[in-house]
A and B are shown apart, each in its own frame.
Chain A
Amino acid sequence: MASPSFAALLVSATPISQGAEAKVYKANLTSEAPPILLKYRFQKHYRHPTLDVSLTRSRVAGEARALLKCLRSGVNVPGIRMVDAAAGALGIEWIEGKSVRHLLPGGAGEDEEAEDVQSEDVAEGEGESVDALNEYGISVETLMRLIGVEIGKMHLADIIHGDLTTSNMMLRHPTSFTSDDLEIPTELVLIDFGLSYHSTLVEDKAVDLYVLERAFSSTHPDSEPLFTSVLTAYAAQLGKEWHAISRRLDEVRLRGRKRSMVG
C-alpha cells in the first residue's frame, strides 16, 4: 500500500498507547470493515537516522513475515491487514481482550494507568486479577497451559519471538470470540513480533523461554510455580524436541554476569 494512504489513515486513527517500539492506534481501513490495530514505528530521534531507517524497515518487514509464518502454522496471532515497511507501519487485526499481564497477580496496576491507581489507593493485585480471569472463564492453571501450548506451536514452526513477556500475550474476550472448545471460551493470542526471527536452533528457543521466565519473575512475584506449568505444557507440545531445549535452558540460566557460582 502506498504511503499517502497511510498518512491519511494515521490522521483518522485513534491513539491507544505508546509502547517501547511504536505508537499504537485503532483505525478503520474502510468504514464497513472491522477496526484494525495500527502499529506505527515512529522515528526515534535518539538514534542515528541511517541506523533508525534500516532498523525500522527491517523490523516492520520481519514482524509481518513472522506473523505470516505463524498464521500458516496455526499459531494464534493477529491477522495482517496492511504493511508499509518504508513508513514503518503495520496494520493487524484488532483483538478484543486483555493482556495476560493484567490478568495475573502483580501485573495489574503497575502500568501506564499508575496515576489513576494512586487516587483510588486500593490494594490492587490478586483479588482483582482473579475476578478478571473469571470473566474469561478459565483458571490461572489453564491460562498457563494455553501459554505453553502457543509458544510450543510457535517454536515448532521455528519462529523465535524474541521478546516474550506477559504483556505480549492476550486473551480474546469471550463475547467477541466463538471457541471450538466448550471448556475454554477464550483463546490465547501471541502479539508483538517486533523482535522475532526465524531459527531452528535449540539455543534460540531456550533463550526465548529464558526471556519469558525472567519477565515472569520480574513482573509477577512468586511466579515460579506458574512458569513451571507453562513449561509442562510447552514440553508436551514439543514432544521429543523438549529434551534438548530443556537441557539448554538450564545452561542459559547459568549465564549472565556476576551470578554466584554455587553448586
Chain B
Amino acid sequence: MPGRIRKSPLETPERPYLALGLEGSANKFGAGIIRHSKDGSTSVLSNIRHTYITPPGEGFQPRDTALHHREWALKIIKRCIAQAGVSIQELDCICYTKGPGMGAPLQSVAIIARIISLLFDKPLVGVNHCVGHIEMGREITGAQNPVVLYVSGGNTQVIAYSRQCYRIFGETLDIAVGNCLDRFARVIDLSNDPSPGYNIEQEAKKGKRLLPLPYATKGMDVSLSGILTSTEAYTSDKRFRPDGIRKGTEDDDIITPADLCFSLQETVFAMLVEITERAMAHIGSKEVLIVGGVGCNERLQEMMGIMASERGGQVFATDERFCIDNGIMIAQAGLLAFRMGQTTPLSESTCTQRFRTDEVHVAWRA
C-alpha cells in the first residue's frame, strides 16, 4: 500500500549472511552468491550463467536442456564459489528454484541443490522463480513498492504487493510474451544466440511499416497467441519478401521480416504498457519495475518510461545480468526467506512446474 510505511519484519542481521542460489527453470543454468552484511547492505559476490543455445529454427527441449544443466552445473558452481572468494562451508543456505518452469531442468537443479546440501550439511531453501525476479529487481533498483511487470519466456504478469503477498493483477491468458517473440524468431529463422528476443529487437530497429495486428487487452489481462498467428500469417502474404529486398523498382508495397518484428513489438509492448498503466491507476502507484528476460528489451523500457513520465512516475529496470534468469536472484529471495526462518526440509525439497507468484508468503515485507 503506497503512502503508509510500516516497519519491516526483517531484523538487521547480527552477522553477515551468505547464500548460494541455483537457477535452472529454463534454458539457462545460473549460480550466484549473495551476502547480506551487518549494516543491512547487500552485495553480489558472484553471478555466473551458462545458456543452452539451440540452432536457428529450434526451441529448447526439456530433456536436452536438463542434460545441459547437469553438464554445466558443477563447473559453474565451482567457478562461482572461486570468484566469490568464500568457502562453501561459510554458506548459510543453498537456495534453488522450486518452480515454475520446465520439469526436467528444474529436477536436475533440485538434485544438485540436494547433493550440496547433504554434502556440506547446509539447509535448503526452495524459491519461487517469479519472487526471485521481483526481489532482485527491488534490490538492484531500490524501488520501494512498485507495480511489477514480469515478462519472460514463460511468464507475463502484472504484479503488485499487498499484505505479504505478491498479487497478480493481470497476466497473459495464453502464451507468454517471450514465448511469442521467440516463436516468431523461429518462424523467420533468426539466430538463438545470444537470445531470439535480442535478435528480434535488433531486427525491429530496421522495421518501418506498422502492419495491422490484433490488439487484445482484456481488462488487465492480455492475449498473445492470436497476434503470433496473425504475424506468422503475414509471412505467407504475397507481399512478403523473406530477404527484405524488393523485386524491382516498381515493387514498393512489400513486407519485410524487419517490418514484422517492428509491428509485433510495437503492438505487444503497447498492450503490456497499457495493462501496467491500468494496474498503476487502479492501485495508485507511481513506480514501475520491469523484470524478466523480455525486460532488457530497450524499446519496452523506453515505452514504459514514456508512460510513467506521463503519469508523473518513474520506471525501474535492470540490465541483462539481473533481467535474464540468474542464480543471484534465487540467492536473494532465498536468503530473505531464510532470515525469516523459512527453510525447505529435504523431504519437501521438490520442484513444481506450476507455482504461482501469489502462493508465496512474503514474510520479509511489511
By a beta-carbon cutoff of 8 Å, the part of chain A in contact with chain B is 18-21, 44-48, 50-51, 55, 109-115, 117-118, 121, 162-165, 167, 195, 207, 211, 214-215, 218-219, 221, 255-261
Q: Are A47 and B270 in contact (CB under 8 A)?
A: yes
Assembled-state Cα–Cα distance A110/B3 (Å): 8
User: B354 contacts which chain A residues (CB < 8 A)?
Assistant: 258-261
- Secondary structure at the A interface, as helix, strand, loop or mixed, is loop
A110/B210 contact (C-beta < 8 A), A55-B215, A219-B282 known = no
Contact (Cβ within 8 A) A20 B280:
yes
Given known pairs A46-B304, A221-B163, A258-B356, the reply for A20 and B217 (CB within 8 Å) is: no
Contacts of A162 in B (CB 8 A): 218-219
Most buried by B among A51, A112, A117, A167: A51
**Which B residues are in CB contact (< 8 Å) with A255?**
173
Can you name 23 A-B pairs with beta carbons within 8 Å?
A19-B281, A20-B274, A20-B280, A46-B273, A46-B307, A47-B270, A109-B1, A109-B3, A111-B284, A112-B284, A114-B1, A114-B3, A165-B219, A195-B217, A215-B219, A218-B162, A218-B168, A219-B283, A258-B100, A258-B354, A258-B356, A260-B355, A260-B359
**A114: B residues at CB distance < 8 A:** 1-4, 284
Given A20-B281, A110-B1, 20 extra CB contacts under 8 A: A46-B273, A46-B303, A48-B266, A51-B210, A51-B267, A55-B215, A109-B3, A110-B2, A111-B283, A112-B284, A114-B4, A118-B5, A121-B4, A165-B219, A195-B217, A214-B169, A214-B219, A218-B162, A257-B171, A258-B100
Distance in angstroms between the alpha carbons of A69 and B284 in the assembled complex: 31
- B167 within 8 Å of A (CB atoms): yes
CB pair A118–B3 under 8 Å, yes or no, is yes
B97 contacts A by Cβ under 8 Å: no
Cα distance, A51 to B171, chains bound together (Å): 22
Measured CB to CB, the closest approach of chain A to B276, in angstroms, equals: 9
Residues of A within 8 A of B206 (CB): none
Contact B215 A221 (CB under 8 A): no
Instruction: State which residues 156-187 of B face A: CB under 8 Å.
Output: 160, 162-163, 167-169, 171-173, 176
Q: How far is the CB of A174 from chain B (nearest CB, A)?
A: 27
Give the Cβ gap from B261 to chain A, nearest Cβ, in Å: 13
